[in-house]
Structure 1
Amino acid sequence: MWASALIATLFVQTVSSFSSMALPLLGPPLMARSGLSPESIGYVSALTSGGISWFLACGGPMLGHFGAVRSLQIGLACMAAGLLLMAQPVGLVALLGALAIGFGCGPNTPAGSQILIRTAPPRHRTLIFSIKQAGVPLGGAIAGLAIAPLVQHHGLQAALWTITGVTLASILLVQPFRRRLDGGPATAVGGHWGRALFSPRVFLRSLGVLKAHPSLPLLTALGASYSTLQACLMAFTATYAVTRHGATLAEAGGIVAVMQFSSMIGRVLMGWVADRRGRALRHLALQALASAAAVALLLVAGSAGGLALYACAALVGFTAIGWNGVHIAELARVAPLPLVSDVTSAASLFGFLGSIGGPLAFAGLVRWTGSYEIAFLSAALQLALFGAISFLVLGRQGRAGRRATQGEVE
């Protein structure tokens, strides 16, 4: 059962990542077609993150009604519809497409967590969650290698149609897993899931579940900080390579692919380490400091171009984008079992709010300073700050725990 669950969730995660990564990789031609500056792709990425946040905030009843696998299929259909809208030359329609793509990505984290927490063996749980989350960089790496040649040989419009076709085919391929993994009828909340998507009360209730465990607020804040840096890296690395290093679109795609492949290795390896060492929150705090240092190295050593740029991109991928599996697994571990999908949705919501604000602030900094380097360093610095704060909080909790133990002994 756990193998079927992992295959299904990894496959959908990979396809979703492949389709959503099309937007930043196609950023230069998409923005040029609309008469916008290259850094304006940050606003499209922010809108995509807004769509994800919308589902995470209000999509719980929809997930309860349709079941996890069916919700993943509906998400793929929304992504395909969004890609079709992105293929249209009208700017407003394309922006609606970005929102639909984000909404379609939304079910991946809560639905995947709901499936895996029921089936994954506890001693390998973090590793299995990390393998599933490795689908994000795997899909991004495939996109980095495939999309630029598609555009060069067949044009922007044909590339968008091809990505749409892959997304639609995936809906059919995941269907055999539905009966086994969803199991059982729809829940009683089904009649209200449509209204819940627009209900402020559902949104506020979804945030309340973060009080279910003392570690959840710190985990949520650290995840939001990671997400902010990751969103900036994903939205702007290709454009940075093209505009600052004179890379071609294919070369920029290769740099993104290296970053994504390295992230895939990082997620799996970090999950394996976390299963054996424990203390996942301390692990995430340490990795935050390493991630900020890697971004700084990318800007310094990577400015030499060539192999140095690829090597630094790999290091950034391993650290700054290789965190998510450990984070999601720890959220699922500390959450009460009936609230696993709700907790991961709420925590991921704050992460995607960072994914909205990060690219927006990044684009504004580039416009204001004319420097991608300052914007990247600012994104890295905020993560280093949250990592340091996490260490301080963990240290205080450890000292309080030791004092309590000594008091009981006395």
Structure 2
Amino acid sequence: MRLPVWALALLATLIAQTVSSFSLIALPLLGPPLMQRAGLPPEGIGLVSALTSAGTCWCLASGGPMLLHHGPVRTLQIGLGCMALGLLVLSQPLGLLGLLAAVVIGFGAGPNTPAGSQILIRTAPPRHRTLIFSIKQAGVPLGGALAGLAVAPLVLGHGVPWALGAIIAVVLLTVLVMQPFRARLDGAERTGSPGWVRALLSPSAMARSIGALRAHPALPLLTALGTSFTVVQSCLNAFTATYAVTRHGASLVEAGQIMALMQGSSMVGRIAMGWVADRMGHAVRHLALQAVASALAVLLLITLGGQGTGALYGCAALVGFTAIGWNGVHIAELARVAPLHLVSDVTSAASLFGFAGSVCGPLLFTLVVGWTGSYALAFGLVAAQLAAFGLASVAFMSRSGGAS
């Protein structure tokens, strides 16, 4: 049976998103043995994480011409190829030089948002658009959950080189799996941009990408709100397990289960929130209300999390559903309000600010905990800034007449 084009588009983007997320989450899971092979201390995995985010920011800022030249499916294949190459180099005992491969891995993850948005905005039925975008974004926690289940047994059973080889094989196999999608999804997308390689190192290309956020009055607000959500999400992903162990006496196994539950709940949340946003018909208002609800969920985590294991698990699930279940609605609304020819540029620029938040948020969180010794205060501050952005968005919409 021949799938409708929107279903084909969703399948292609979901596969690429899931495998990309699987490969990214595998890095911190492999952190200690990788750092040992590179002759670096275990905390060196933080440098890998920072360089990966830097690579993604590079792609989001300068990769627009590459997307225009090759089309979205081919660009996703190029990204997956970069991830495979970076993983191969990172697996070698090359010390600090090998860590530069993390930039290549991050660059390879970069095309998922702009290329996926370009595919889906042209194919998704408008009345189900937000739900479809949210299902695609559910590939992020799905890939993370698969990595959590598969990577550790691979390392324990066969060693780090075999585990890395298996991950690389999955990525390369996905490049081949994506090939049949090109005929139906890339045909009308390529406009030709022969200078795309030079653009990767061009400051003017980066400036043009960020300038795309002026294309619609709602884009600055959406970008700020998305960055605020990203700060909370990155802090939750980075510190929830440590918080559970150091402040509530959870074992490492329990902390892993809490994280798995939070990721699984966020996968459900992304799909459910997409369905709700389609029913509401006002995605910006939905995101503003979800921001306030997410902040309250984080406050419940720090106030009720110590009331027993059940409460900690329940609060983690609620936080995952709300504070990590926002991304699909956000990207769908960015794509909806952007001019059609600027969809990839707009989603790239907004995601660039989001990744900056994912770097700065955990760094500031670490400073607050270092200064005060309080995880509760740090979580409270990141929740407060999200609530403030949500309430400010409601006020802005009231003054501007509530444009959707």
The change in CA–CA distance for 1:362 and 1:25 in structure 2 (over 3 A counts) is farther
* CA distance in 2 between partners of 1:295 and 1:151 (Å): 34
Which of 313, 331, 334 in structure 1 is aligned with 2:334? 331
1:386 to 381, 384, 389: 389
Paired position in structure 1 for 2:24: 20
Q: CA deviation at 1:8?
A: 0.4
1:343 lines up with 2:349 in the alignment? no
Does structure 1 residue 362 correspond to structure 2 residue 355?
Answer: no
2:65 counterpart of 1:53: no
2:101 equivalent in structure 1: 97
Verify the 8 A CA contact 2:70 2:192 in the aligned structure 1.
no
Q: Using the alignment, how far apart are the partners of 1:160 and 1:247 within structure 2?
A: 30
Question: Counterpart of 1:159?
Answer: 163
Q: What are the equivalent positions in structure 2 for 1:75-224 lying under 5 Å apart?
A: 75-184=79-188, 186-189=190-193, 191-224=194-227
TM-score (norm 1): 0.89
> C-alpha separation between the residues in 2 aligned to 1:11 and 1:309?
32
Question: Which residue of the partner structure matches residue 379 of structure 2?
Answer: 376
Q: Please, which of 263, 267, 286 is the counterpart of residue 266 of structure 2?
A: 263
Whether the 8 Å contact between 1:24 and 1:234 is mirrored in structure 2 is no
Contact 1:24 1:235 (C-alpha < 8 Å) held by counterparts: no
Q: 1:302 to 1:145 in 2, by over 3 A?
A: farther
Name the CA shift for 1:98/1:293 in 2 (closer, same or farther; >3 Å). Answer: farther
**What pairs with 1:34-49 in structure 2 (closer than 5 Å)?**
36=41, 41-49=45-53
Is the partner of 1:19 in helix, strand or coil? Answer: helix
CA separation of 1:153 and 1:102: change in aligned 2, threshold 3 A: same
Which SS does the other structure have where 2:100 is aligned? Answer: helix
1:228 aligned to 208, 212, 231, which one? 231
Shift of 1:366: 3.7
Please state how far the C-alpha of 1:145 moved relative to its aligned partner.
Answer: 2.3
Corresponding position: 1:71 with 2:71: no
Change (3 A) 1:48 1:9: same
Counterpart residue number, 1:237 = 240
CA RMSD of aligned residues (A): 2.4
Query: In 2, Cα distance between the equivalents of 1:46 and 1:130?
Result: 26
Look up the SS of the partner of 1:171 in the other structure: helix
CA apart distance, 1:49: 1.8
Amino acid at match of 1:258: L
Indicate yes or no: 2:401 matched with 1:398: yes
Q: 1:307 Cα shift?
A: 3.1
Cα displacement (A) at 1:267: 0.8
1:41 touches 1:235 (CA, 8 Å); kept in 2? no
Percent identity for Structure 1 against Structure 2: 68
For structure 1, list consecutive stretches of 5 or more residues without a partner in the other structure.
Answer: 402-410
Matched residue SS, 1:47: helix
8 A contact 2:72–2:189 mirrored in 1:
no
- Asked whether 1:318 is paired with 2:311, we answer no
Q: Pick from 305, 308, 313: which aligns with 2:311?
A: 308
Unaligned stretches of 5+ in structure 2? none
